[in-house]
Structure 1
């Protein structure tokens, strides 16, 4: 492959795609879900609904096709439309990628808001690494305040969306972690320095 801009872009895209595939495989193999996964019979129903979608598919296509389909979790029922970003740049390679995305509904709903808000920014790419860091922060908040109706996840997603609108750029993943740690500490939760939020 030529060592020019196109060649480097292709290598970066290939590396990002491989990283996404590894992340999906890891998520599917995880046994320590923080948020209860969708029930097995629901997965079967979701898989059946996803048969109407031709993959790879964008978030917009999936929402247009099965957006009203409801998935159940311990917190209640969520429509696919409430969990997947409705954008053409958000692409899912397989039904497994959709299942991973909706397995933790609180985190998925927060990421939907952030991804859709990021699309209002001119010439800004929401990279895979930054996205995974945001998701990890939401997952940690979800685990910390599991009994508090996910107020922490909502507060930080609100903060990110406000920052996007106010500064017209995505906050760094470090800034998001710092804000999440401050929120936890102000609400009486201990955050150690050796933890993800421990900045």
Structure 2
């Protein structure tokens, strides 16, 4: 995946879509999801949402704020998908270094016209990314790009599906249902694994 797409593809991969029905287990209280036996706590999820809300409050150019419940589902969806990417990458011997993230961030900053502008563009995506979430967002995109490159268009989807199945994902019904076929969470999902990146596409709402 070309570096210049590292931020803009987030909106393509994780934009909102219609609700899909699916069954979820009910993890213990204080848990938004369990992935591979590890909890994603409601407090960790809320921290991500609060970071976005705080950044939006400080910005005059952010996209219209999504409802809190919708933003929570979208953020949880991405947190789960990141763990799926990490599991797939681990099995395939794929890594993303801090240097790679720094290089992409530097290039994206230059192309955006400065750090402030780059942060505004990240916050203006359909799934807003707060300034302190940008490095993780870049890592997400680099992992996805390397997995696609490693397995090819015909094989990377089964690799992700296999990893997701091995993680035995459970989601609190509060946030919707996990759809194993789409590898995504209820209302927050899109067919993210089948999208084609367009380098010229600007972030939604930019």
TM range (shorter): 0.3 to 0.5
Structure scoring higher RCO (CA < 8 A, sep ≥ 6) equals 2
TM-score by length of 1: 0.32
Answer with 1 or 2: which has the greater Rg. Answer: 1
